[in-house]
Amino acid sequence: MNQHCILVVDDEPHMRRVLEIMLRSAGHTVYVAGNGREALEILRDNPVDLVITDMRMPEMDGIELLNTMRRDGMGVPVILITAHGSVESAVHAMKCGASDYLLRPFDLEELELAIARVLNEAAMLRQNSFLREELNRGWDAFIGTSVAMKAIYELIRQVAPAKAPVMIAGETGTGKELAARAIHNASPRRDKLFVPINCAAIPAEMLEAELFGYEKGAFTGALKDRIGKFELANEGTVFLDELTEMPIALQAKLLRFLQDNTVERLGSNRRIPLNLRIVAATNRHPRDAVNEGRLREDLYYRLNVLPITLTPLRERKEDIPDLLAHFIVKHSPRADGRSMPSAEVVKHLLAYDWPGNVRELENMVERALVLCGSGPFNMSHFPLEPDASLRQAAAPESPITLGPLTPAVEAFEARLIGLALEQAGGSKQKAAALLDISERSLWYKLKKYGPQTTDTQG
In this predicted structure, what is the pLDDT of residue 383? 87
Q: What is the pLDDT of residue 417?
A: 85
pLDDT category at 127 given cuts 50, 70, 90 is low
| Measured torsion, CA atoms of residues 85, 91, 93, 98, in degrees rounded to the nearest 10 | 120
**CA distance linking residue 316 with residue 322, whole number of Å:** 11
Say how far apart CA 454 and CA 426 lie, in whole Å.
10
pLDDT one-digit tens code per residue, 372-399: 877 788 888 898 865 544 444 344 445 5
Residue 126 banded pLDDT, cuts 50, 70, 90 = low
- When pLDDT is averaged across residues 154-166 and rounded to a whole number, the result is 94
Long-range contacts of 112-120 (CB under 8 A, 24+ apart): 112/1, 112/26, 114/79, 115/1, 115/4, 115/6, 115/50, 115/52, 115/79, 116/1, 118/50, 118/77, 118/79, 119/2, 119/4, 119/49, 119/50, 119/77
pLDDT at residue 400 in the model: 54
Strand partners, 198: 241
Tell me if the pTM is above 0.95.
no
Domains and CATH numbers, the chain: 5-132 (3.40.50.2300), 139-309 (3.40.50.300), 313-381 (1.10.8.60), 398-457 (1.10.10.60)
Instruction: Tell me the one-letter amino acid at 155.
Output: L
Length of the chain equals: 458
Cα torsion angle, 372, 375, 378, 380, sign: negative
Contact between 285 and 169 under an 8 Å Cβ cutoff? The reply is yes
Question: Would you say residue 262 has pLDDT above 80?
Answer: yes
pLDDT for 87: 64
Phi-psi region of 342 (alpha: psi -120 to 50; beta: other; left: phi over 0): beta
Where is pLDDT greater, at 151 or 407? 151
CA distance linking residue 28 with residue 52, whole number of Å: 13
Q: Which of 210, 205, 250, 251 is nearest to 227 (CA)?
A: 210
Evaluate if residue 348 carries a pLDDT over 50: yes
Distances (CA, A) of 140 to 143, 186, 278, 402: 8, 12, 22, 55
pLDDT bracket for residue 432 (50, 70, 90):
confident
Rounded mean pLDDT of 170-197? 93
* Mean pLDDT score, 62-78: 87
3-class DSSP assignment, residue 213: strand
In this prediction, residue 260 has a pLDDT band, given cuts at 50, 70 and 90, of very high
pLDDT band at 84 (very low <50, low <70, confident <90, very high): low
Whether the per-residue pLDDT at 427 is higher than 60: the answer is yes
Q: What would the mean pLDDT of 221-242 be, rounded to a whole number?
A: 91
For all residues of the chain together, what is the average pLDDT?
A: 84
Higher pLDDT, 378 or 339: 378
**202 pLDDT higher than 70:** yes
Cα 39 off chain centre by: 34
pLDDT digits (tens, 9 = 90+) for 297-319: 999 999 999 999 999 999 999 99
104-111 average pLDDT score: 82
Does 239 or 389 have the greater pLDDT score?
A: 239
